[in-house]
Structure 1
Amino acid sequence: MAEPLKNMYNETFFRLFSEKVLSVYPSFQSDTFLKLIFNEEWDTKELKQRIRHISECLAETLPKGYSNALAILQKLAPTCRGFEYLFFPDFVERYGLHSREESLHALKELTSSSSAEFAIRPFIEAHPEETMALLLKWATNSNEHVRRLASEGCRPRLPWAKPLTIFKKDPSLIIPILQALKEDESEYVRKSVANNLNDIAKDHPAIVKEICLQWRGQHPHTDWILKHGCRTLLRKADPDILELFGFERQPHVLIEALTLSQTSIQRGESLTFIFQLKNETSTPYKLRIEYGIDFVKARGKTSRKLFKITENTYQKGSYSFERNHSFKDLSTRKHYPGEHYIVIIINGDEYARSTIMLT
Structure 2
Amino acid sequence: MTNAQETTRRDATPSQAAADAVRMRRRKAQWLVSGMLSLSLLIVAMGIYTSTRTESISITGYLSGIILAFGSFLGVLGLCLEENRKQLLIAAIVFLSFGIISSFLCLVVDGVFILLNIDMRPMKEGRCQFYTSGNSYIYENYYATVPCQGLTESCNMKVRSGTCYCCDLYDCANGGYLNNYYEFVGVQSCQEVLSLYVLLWVLTTLNLLAFVCGILTTAVLGSIKDMKSGVVGLDVSQWGGSSLFSFDGTSCSSPTAPLLMDPNSHAGHQLYPRASLYVSPAAPAAAGSSVSPGGSSDTSHAQPNPPPFAPLYNLLPYKTSSFSA
**What is the TM-score normalised by the length of structure 2?**
0.21
Q: Which has the larger radius of gyration?
A: 2
Bigger relative CO (Cα 8 Å, ≥ 6 apart): 2
**What is the TM-score normalised by the length of structure 1?**
0.19
Q: Which has the higher strand share?
A: 1
